[in-house]
């Protein structure tokens, strides 16, 4: 997850919700996008391809922030990956917030919050559970000029504002680094049985 960090002034991006694969494919990717590929030469193109794939999935949702045809931020939701501990819960009732990133040169202007505002302003997730894995390996500390504790605190502040809570889990991707965190938002209309099943899988104790 790649939220914010002060940079020079920039034009105000437009936020578009429920982007189609064709719309995403038609954008130019800002060179400041690419944290998930460590800003390798093809990082932007890889991220664009990943966004096109997510936009193609049933029950998924892609929001982008763009200036003209230039993508400067994105936020994605998709069903739990096949094989994950929550994959066989009712479709559409548990979703992963798979990624949020703002281009390095556009950070510090509230773009991450605008993406989150757009996502949670609707009733889409009122009866659902949304979880996000804040994994340190994909945090852009260099771009944000922060240490790990400061970056983690920034992410927690962002997600706290949208009803996410920190949950203890033995999910290996999260426990690999004790600074990583699982954040969970339980919609106010989520059924008691769904919440019970979800929480029952936070710690599986598989060894």
pLDDT in tens, 111-169: 999 999 999 999 999 999 999 999 999 999 888 789 999 999 999 999 999 999 999 99
CA distance 205 to 199: 13
Any domain includes 57: yes
SS3 of residue 155 by DSSP: helix
Span 65-87, pLDDT tens digits: 999 999 999 999 999 999 999 99
CATH code, 114: 3.40.630.30
Any domain includes 141: yes
Residues facing 101 on adjacent strands: 2, 74
Tell me: pLDDT of 9 over 80.
no
Any domain includes 4: no
Report the domain count for the chain. Answer: 1
Q: How confident is the model at residue 8 (pLDDT cuts 50, 70, 90)?
A: very low
Domain that holds residue 24: 14-200
Q: How confident is the model at residue 1 (pLDDT cuts 50, 70, 90)?
A: low
Any domain includes 207: no
Any domain includes 130: yes
């Amino acid at each position: 997850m790649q939220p914010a960090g002060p940079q020079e002034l920039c034009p105000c991006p437009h936020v578009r919700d429920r982007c189609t694969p064709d719309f995403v494919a038609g954008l130019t990717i800002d060179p400041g996008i690419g944290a998930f590929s460590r800003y390798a030469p093809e990082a932007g193109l890889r991220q664009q391809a990943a966004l096109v794939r997510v936009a193609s999935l049933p029950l998924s949702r892609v929001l982008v922030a763009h200036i003209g045809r230039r993508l400067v931020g994105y936020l994605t939701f998709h069903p739990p990956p096949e094989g994950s501990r929550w994959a066989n819960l009712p479709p559409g009732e548990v979703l992963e917030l798979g990624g949020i990133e703002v281009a390095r040169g556009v950070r510090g202007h509230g773009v991450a919050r605008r993406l989150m505002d757009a996502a949670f302003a609707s009733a889409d997730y009122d009866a659902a559970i949304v979880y996000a894995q804040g994994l340190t390996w994909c945090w852009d500390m260099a771009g944000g000029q922060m240490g790990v504790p400061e970056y983690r605190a920034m992410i927690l502040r962002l997600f706290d504002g949208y009803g996410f809570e920190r949950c203890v889990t033995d999910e290996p991707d999260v426990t690999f680094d004790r600074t990583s965190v699982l954040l969970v938002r339980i919609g106010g209309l989520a059924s008691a049985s769904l919440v019970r099943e979800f929480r029952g899988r936070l710690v599986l104790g598989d060894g």
